[in-house]
A and B are shown apart, each in its own frame.
Chain A
Amino acid sequence: MDDYGWGMFKKGLKRRSKEVRRMRVMTCLAVFFLALTLLLQDNLNAYRMQANYMDFGSWAVRCEGEEFENRSGLVPCGSVLRGSMLYRLYPGPLDIDPETEEPYGESRFDVVPEDRISVSFYSNSRNNSLASLGTFDERFAAEQNIGLYEGRWPQADDEIVMELYALEELGYSYELGQELSFYLAERDDKVFLNAECEQAYLKACEEWRASHPGEEPPEDAGEYFDDDEEDDEQVIIGSDEPDEAPIGDEYPRRDNFTIEKLFGEMQLYKVTFRLVGIMERYSVGWDGIVNGYAEGMDSRSWLPSAVVTRAEFDSLTMDKAEQRFYELSPELKRGRVWETAEELFTNIENSVTDDSVLYVLNRSAYTNPLWGNSGMYRGMTALLIVLSACIIAYLMASYLGKRRPFFMRMREIGASTGEVFSMAAYECVLSVIPAALITFAASYLVGVIAVFIVSKATGVPFRFAFSLRTMLLILACIAGTLALSLAAALLIFAGRGITAKRQGLGRSAARSIKRRSARKERSQRVYLSLSETLVRDRRLHRIKTWSLRIVSILVCGVILLCTFITTYWIKNYKTFSTGYCDVSAGVQGIYVRQCSIPYKPNKWGKSPKIKMNEHGTCMTVDTVLPKAFMDEIESLPGVGELSWYGRDDDKVILDWEGKEEDAFLISLFHAYLEAGNLRRKEYGSLDLENGTQYKTAKEPEMFALYGNSQPETAWKLLEKWLDPAVADLDAFLSGDQVIVMVDDKGIILTDGAGKHYSIPVDEDGVVNTGNNGSSEEETGLQALPDDPWEELGHSFEPGDTITYRYGKEKTLDAVIAGVVPSSQAKEELVKLSGDTRFVNKLVAAICSPAFLEKAVKLIKQDPEDPTGALDELTCYNGVRIRLNEISVNESTLKSISNICAKYNVEYSNWVENKEMMRREMLHNLATYGLFGAMLAVLFFFVISSVQNDENARLAEKISILRRAGTERSSIKKQRMADAFRQTLPLLLSLPVFVLLSAYRQGLFKQFISTDKGDVIIFPNVSTFLVNVIGPQVILPALAVLMLIYWLITSGALRREKE
């Protein structure tokens, strides 16, 4: 062909500019799809890595020692000096000074000033603090993203910054400026002070036994519980009453093995600092693989939770160690850092064989790429490339298919195969290459802008990640697909026969069309239809048709994966926020420093006493939170479950000593009842009709009686078990009847060792609390059998009389209104209050306040009766609040603040957000959510363009059919049917994805065996609906959207033009 001919060919292209433009637009969409998805994947990964550095620090390895000082691929990035653990004093049970009635040493809780009762809102607390003292500089803190909630870093030698959790664990408030005192160990044994005291005491006891063979220690020796589970002989836990009877001189006294007494041996010394700042939780959040640590040791203890100045640290006498931090070298950080880091970590694990080298790898920062791991990342990259290639190939095939008649005509008028191929190649290159290159460049620009927006929106600073590898992959995909498409075209052009149209169908396509035709004939329908045409047309282009369908399904699968991940993290975060964990909405806990409520001073003007037990957590208070306060807190929107508790393991010891006025007692009693949270345990004996007496012990309890401040409600809840012939509400309310609950599960709570004890009672009926194991001879009482029900031979029946004994000659009778299985009673009574532990007794009973009033009066009939000297009332002076909704966090806190102010509360609080969870959710939204959304949008446009193209192609066929006499309505119906047929594979794939998702979430939990074999059942339909269907709503929505678009653009829904 001469130049003029080429000129004509090019002129023809120009005249077909509309078609060429359409091809270019579709090319742009396809290349955008390819380039943007890959670029976004790379950059979202870069974002994720940066976010990881912000969350976990950028160090890769930390180690004590110089093991990694000169290792290739690592560069030092600072160090942390660590010293002694921080110790607080936890007084033992006998550590009350009898003269001052104050505990020795330091108490965990401060004595509350007279005008305040402290109320604290806590999150999870742990029993053991792993806090240690150390130092690092601010630059290190900034680089490793260790932030301060409040305050500043220490500048003076008497200043200290504490990690939040350390303040909690050590029992301090969060007030800046307060003085903090700790004990440091010069010799760092890494064991807790109390445990050492116990060990020392046990050792002394063993030595005594060894030196006194055959002798038994005194019964009231109070040895400590030996928690070695392999021992057959179990030692009883020591007394929990601080004021115990004196023990034998020779036998080791527990009070000689207190922390104070052992100070000298422990070489502890006291230090005092002023709190100037509170650190975010950094020692907990850093997760890593610990190597070389002893089993059970926690690497977090190697990071200081209390930071002082370097000068101060150097001046302290204690064992010191340096944790050196190393990060990846800049060269390794570039590119696919997660793969690089993994190789490095593996290399470290294989090469460090010396067990004395203690190091921690920070995998969280480096090996947590997009899609979870590098294998998935590569797989997803490959999938995206294949999908994009399929889309580009489809577009090329479609375009070349439309142009095929032109090129075949060219051949018919004498153009050679080479000339035709040249023309086709020129046309494709002209239509595709400029658009592809411009789009390729534009995608980078869009990527840069997207990165900027995401970075600003999430607060994670990161730059556009350019990867030569990705760029080459994109270009190779475009070029490769183009080349393959043209090669395929060449094969067609160079075919044996020159035909503008395809000659015939393949065998399978011909067979299926024959079957279809036969079906139509059988139904006697004359079929000259669009459907038939479309079916045949699609069978002619099976590869093209099915490739588009498979691409659609795969793309939707990726979108589903993204949706699943994002909804999982949103659900996680919201679940976190809705109090199913022991934290509150979006926060790890609400920390209120000092929230005070005024109370009326008692008549004697005494301040609350503090009595310490072995746990050091008793507190005596004279009043409790007013009921009104509790009601207001409960009614706040956004407040979920409230766990009211007494600061002292639910026990508040009231000292009635000296109080003689009944009126005061009664008024106090009613005040507690008014608070709505009173439970009173009665300690007495239980008499049965057959005269057998069983005495109760304080610990363990077989029998208990509980008064409930809502007796009518309790009655109604248990009414169905009451005997209508006997039960009388009025009698119950007046204290003449009780409702008995009997253990129906055979679980009997004792001392944890499975033994029951009888408690000796003297002839005056005084219960000798705290002592166990007395013999029948001593007490005259029958010991409780192991299985009391068998020996008892008695079951409680409605109408029986139950007698409560409060000391000598002091009995109170009540008729049993009904007997309720305790497990079922528990289910009902939990509606009244959250605590149903009292039901876990062999026999428990509920009575009205009137009965308890009678009991109180009974007790106080004899002021000398020591059983009246002490009583326990359970009341609430603390509450754990769990918030429900993230959005009302601030407003709810404000409301709490207002309520406390109303009750004259000095309220200051701040909330520690669960940054890890929130950030993780945001990170996943920013990555997977953005990726899925972008993929959906791009793919929608691609499919729309394809459909537009198809509509244009079908227009001619429809025109022919209309001229042949096919009715408009028939064509419309057939187009709708065709649209459904096109989206059918996608719609059918959705249930498959649903089932895969359900399987992955482990919802196929149960199998039931039937005659026909095992059947899978879903244990929880609502869980299935929420966890599986919910997150996948986007896919059906996408499919419906595509279907609607198809219907609209295909003209199925619009009026046909004549």
Chain B
Amino acid sequence: METAKYVLEARGISRTYKGEVPVYALKETDLAFTEGEFVAIIGRSGSGKSTLLRILATLDVSDTGELYIEGEKVSGLKDAELARFRRRRIGFIYQDYNLFPEYTAYENIVFPIHLDGRTEDKAAVEKLMEDLGILHCRDKFPHEMSGGEQQRTSIARALATEPAVILADEPTGNLDAENSQKVAELLKFCSEEYRRTIVMVTHDQGMANYADRIIRISDGVVTE
């Protein structure tokens, strides 16, 4: 495999949750994603797809293997470096939006930028918000927005730092069918328009069909 041409690559990653009965969440897996690719990881509940996503997002550490983002090895980075990597190269979209309730939509979107020590381009952010159809929610707090608007805000936050990879964990899980479709289309749009690699975890085949590639996972084992 040529690492350089992959935006995101995982080699031999595995994860086991220790306990009275160890849970093999992810067995040794090799994955690679190219730029602008929209990949769906589909599997049943408990199949290990969220674990896989969290490892790819560096939110969890695999027991074995290595992770590369844009050719750079992120496994073994120190906390500060990893944090910098995370905020610059990775965007994460949650199933339950995970917006900060005390900040407005605009503030939620720009916070990661400022976390990186940069200043946002207001125009660019507003355009992004307009593209996602949430400009009217600029000064609204999450509890004042609908589920769909919150999820789009979450997407906007993920896109605002112009990451190399956007990872979405069941982004339509809390949405109705109409909004789910809109979000799926939005993600498709982002991957094409902004050339972002998007990896989406879902259990919904319908959502998965929007992806360019579907990866199946079952009991911690990835099959394509």
Q: Which partner residue on chain B sits nearest A507 by CB separation?
A: B20
Contact between B20 and A411, CB atoms less than 8 A apart = no
Is the C-beta of B80 less than 8 angstroms from some C-beta in chain A? yes
Contact between A8 and B111, CB atoms less than 8 A apart = yes
Is the C-beta of B28 less than 8 angstroms from some C-beta in chain A? no
Q: Which of A468-508 contact B (CB under 8 A)?
A: 494, 496-500, 503-504, 507
Contact between B117 and A2, CB atoms less than 8 A apart = yes
Is the C-beta of B144 less than 8 angstroms from some C-beta in chain A? no
Contacts of B19 in A (CB 8 A): 504, 507, 510
Is the C-beta of B60 less than 8 angstroms from some C-beta in chain A? yes
Contact between B80 and A413, CB atoms less than 8 A apart = no
Contact between B102 and A414, CB atoms less than 8 A apart = no
Q: Which of B144-184 contact A (CB under 8 A)?
A: 157, 161
Whole-angstrom distance between the Cβ of A403 and the nearest chain B Cβ: 11
Contacts of A414 in B (CB 8 A): 83-84, 86-88, 112, 115-116, 161
Q: Which of B40-96 contact A (CB under 8 A)?
A: 54, 57, 59-61, 79-80, 83-84, 86-88, 92
Q: Which of A116-124, A126-134, A416-424, A790-798 faces chain B?
A: A416-424
Q: Which of B92-118 contact A (CB under 8 A)?
A: 92, 98, 100, 102-103, 107, 111-112, 114-118
Is the C-beta of A412 less than 8 angstroms from some C-beta in chain B? yes
Q: List 18 other contacts, CB 8 Å, given A1-B115, A414-B161.
A: A1-B114, A5-B115, A8-B107, A12-B102, A406-B100, A411-B83, A412-B57, A413-B112, A414-B86, A414-B87, A414-B88, A416-B79, A496-B61, A497-B59, A497-B60, A498-B59, A510-B19, A511-B20
Contact between B92 and A498, CB atoms less than 8 A apart = no
Contact between A2 and B114, CB atoms less than 8 A apart = yes
A4 to B120, CA, bound (A): 10
Contacts of B61 in A (CB 8 A): 496-497
Whole-angstrom distance between the Cβ of B218 and the nearest chain A Cβ: 22
Q: Which of A67-115 contact B (CB under 8 A)?
A: none
16 residue pairs A–B, Cβ–Cβ below 8 Å:
A2-B118, A406-B100, A413-B92, A414-B83, A414-B161, A416-B83, A417-B80, A418-B79, A419-B115, A494-B79, A497-B54, A499-B59, A507-B19, A510-B19, A510-B20, A511-B20
Q: Which of A495-531 contact B (CB under 8 A)?
A: 496-500, 503-504, 507, 510-511
Is the C-beta of A16 less than 8 angstroms from some C-beta in chain B? yes
Contact between A5 and B59, CB atoms less than 8 A apart = no
Contacts of B117 in A (CB 8 A): 1-2, 5
Q: Which partner residue on chain A sits nearest B78 by CB separation?
A: A416
Question: In the complex where A494-B79, A497-B60 touch, is A504 in contact with B114 (Cβ < 8 A)?
Answer: no
A520 to B37, CA, bound (A): 49
Question: In the complex where A8-B114, A503-B17 touch, is A413 in contact with B59 (Cβ < 8 A)?
Answer: no
Whole-angstrom distance between the Cβ of B199 and the nearest chain A Cβ: 16
Contact between A409 and B100, CB atoms less than 8 A apart = yes
A494 to B61, CA, bound (A): 13
Whole-angstrom distance between the Cβ of A294 and the nearest chain B Cβ: 78
Whole-angstrom distance between the Cβ of B46 and the nearest chain A Cβ: 14
Contact between B17 and A413, CB atoms less than 8 A apart = no
Contacts of A411 in B (CB 8 A): 83
The total of chain A residues at the interface (CB under 8 A) is: 31
A819 to B21, CA, bound (A): 89
Is the C-beta of A415 less than 8 angstroms from some C-beta in chain B? yes
Q: Which partner residue on chain A sits nearest B92 by CB separation?
A: A412
Contact between A16 and B100, CB atoms less than 8 A apart = no
Contacts of B107 in A (CB 8 A): 8
Whole-angstrom distance between the Cβ of A770 and the nearest chain B Cβ: 99
Contact between B80 and A418, CB atoms less than 8 A apart = yes
Contact between A4 and B114, CB atoms less than 8 A apart = yes
Partner of A504, one of B17, B57, B86: B17
A496 to B63, CA, bound (A): 11
A418 to B57, CA, bound (A): 20
Is the C-beta of A15 less than 8 angstroms from some C-beta in chain B? yes
Contacts of A507 in B (CB 8 A): 19-20
Whole-angstrom distance between the Cβ of A494 and the nearest chain B Cβ: 7
Residue of A15, A406, A414, A494 with most partner-chain B CB within 10 A: A414
A706 to B80, CA, bound (A): 107
A413 to B111, CA, bound (A): 9
A500 to B54, CA, bound (A): 12
Whole-angstrom distance between the Cβ of B169 and the nearest chain A Cβ: 11
Q: Which of A385-430 contact B (CB under 8 A)?
A: 406, 409-419
Q: Which of B124-147 contact A (CB under 8 A)?
A: none
Question: In the complex where A1-B114, A4-B114 touch, is A12 in contact with B103 (Cβ < 8 A)?
Answer: yes
A510 to B21, CA, bound (A): 11
Residue of B107, B111, B112, B118 with most partner-chain A CB within 10 A: B111
A499 to B17, CA, bound (A): 14
Whole-angstrom distance between the Cβ of B38 and the nearest chain A Cβ: 22
Contact between A413 and B157, CB atoms less than 8 A apart = yes
Partner of A416, one of B80, B88, B92: B80
Whole-angstrom distance between the Cβ of B173 and the nearest chain A Cβ: 16
Question: In the complex where A2-B114, A416-B79 touch, is A409 in contact with B98 (Cβ < 8 A)?
Answer: yes
Whole-angstrom distance between the Cβ of B32 and the nearest chain A Cβ: 24
Contacts of B86 in A (CB 8 A): 412-414
Q: Which partner residue on chain A sits nearest B88 by CB separation?
A: A414
Whole-angstrom distance between the Cβ of B166 and the nearest chain A Cβ: 13
Whole-angstrom distance between the Cβ of B88 and the nearest chain A Cβ: 7
Whole-angstrom distance between the Cβ of A399 and the nearest chain B Cβ: 15
Contact between B87 and A413, CB atoms less than 8 A apart = yes
Per-residue CB contact flags for chain A residues 1-20 toward chain B (1 = under 8 Å, else 0) read 11011001000100110000
Whole-angstrom distance between the Cβ of A960 and the nearest chain B Cβ: 12
A504 to B107, CA, bound (A): 32
Contact between A5 and B111, CB atoms less than 8 A apart = yes
A1 to B60, CA, bound (A): 23
A511 to B88, CA, bound (A): 42
A415 to B116, CA, bound (A): 8
Q: Which of B1-37 contact A (CB under 8 A)?
A: 17, 19-20
Contacts of B98 in A (CB 8 A): 409, 412, 500
Q: Which partner residue on chain A sits nearest B55 by CB separation?
A: A497
Contacts of A511 in B (CB 8 A): 20
Contacts of B100 in A (CB 8 A): 12, 406, 409
Partner of A2, one of B20, B103, B119: B119
A416 to B77, CA, bound (A): 12
A2 to B17, CA, bound (A): 37
Whole-angstrom distance between the Cβ of A376 and the nearest chain B Cβ: 46
Contacts of A503 in B (CB 8 A): 17
A4 to B107, CA, bound (A): 11
Contacts of B87 in A (CB 8 A): 413-415
Question: In the complex where A409-B100, A416-B79, A416-B83 touch, is A4 in contact with B119 (Cβ < 8 A)?
Answer: yes
Q: Which partner residue on chain B sits nearest A511 by CB separation?
A: B20
Whole-angstrom distance between the Cβ of A3 and the nearest chain B Cβ: 9
Partner of A417, one of B60, B83, B112: B83
Contact between A16 and B102, CB atoms less than 8 A apart = yes
Contacts of B119 in A (CB 8 A): 2, 4
Top 3 nearest A-B pairs by Cβ distance? A414-B87, A5-B114, A416-B83
Contacts of A412 in B (CB 8 A): 57, 59, 86, 92, 98
A196 to B107, CA, bound (A): 105
A883 to B103, CA, bound (A): 75
Contacts of B79 in A (CB 8 A): 416-418, 494
Contacts of A4 in B (CB 8 A): 114, 119
Contacts of B20 in A (CB 8 A): 507, 510-511
A93 to B139, CA, bound (A): 114
Question: In the complex where A497-B61, A504-B17, A507-B19 touch, is A413 in contact with B115 (Cβ < 8 A)?
Answer: yes
A565 to B157, CA, bound (A): 64
A418 to B115, CA, bound (A): 12
A15 to B107, CA, bound (A): 13
Contacts of B54 in A (CB 8 A): 497
Contacts of A494 in B (CB 8 A): 79
A409 to B161, CA, bound (A): 16
A16 to B100, CA, bound (A): 11
A590 to B20, CA, bound (A): 79
